[in-house]
Homo-oligomer: A and B are copies of this chain.
Amino acid sequence: MMRLYDNHLSGNGYKPRLLLAHLVRSYERVEIDILKGGSRTPEFLAMNPNGRIPVLRLEDGTCLAESNAILWYLAEGTPFLPADPLARALTLQWMFFEQYSHEPNIAVARHWLRHVEMTEAQRAQLPSRQAGGRAALAVMERHLGHRPWFGAAAMTVADVALYAYTHVAGEGGFDLSDYPNVTAWLARVAAQPGHVPMHPAPEGVVSPRV
């Protein structure tokens, strides 16, 4: 059985959880206490030398890191990854946007405000991270003004990737009411059959009912 090394607070961990629920696939979830160094132990670094969750351990023991690479792997051959080469490239474009322009601003602001005691250096950086997050939300708002989804004509892994931290952006000090297209898209994602919330994360073996 596939095993997902995860943390219940992490949007990056929620991405594969959400997709696996949509795909009605079983897996074992292992909670890693990232705030207490659980992703920096020798055992964990043997799975992912970059020391980050999530990691998906496949049945043959291969370990796959990077949330969006995990999404891509799981979605191949399903409706969450289009077949058309250009639609696939645009799906990937939005997933790289998420990891470069969105997550380092919105997720990091949320992490600092919610999960840790901010250092002086973090406090000094918070305004620029929040400005970067508002810029990312504005890019999303503009795109959604003429398209219902990000990568293709239907929901794809690009939407899963962007949903994870956008729907909790309020916890990072962002006011989503400034972005009505984004708010409507969040509701569309959450209304899809098979949707599961970020909290609570399921414990142990997850065997979805078909």
Contact = CB atoms under 8 A, between A and B. Distances in A.
Nearest to A138: B49
Interface of A: 49-50, 58, 62, 64-70, 72-73, 76, 85-86, 88-90, 92-93, 95-97, 99-101, 103-104, 121, 124-125, 128, 136, 139, 142-143
Contact of A92 (B66, B90, B142): B66
Given A62-B86, A73-B89, A104 B101 contact: no
Contact of A103 (B88, B95, B100): B100
A66 B86 CA distance: 13
A96 B66 contact: yes
B101 A72 contact: no
A65 B93 contact: yes
A42 to B, nearest CB: 12
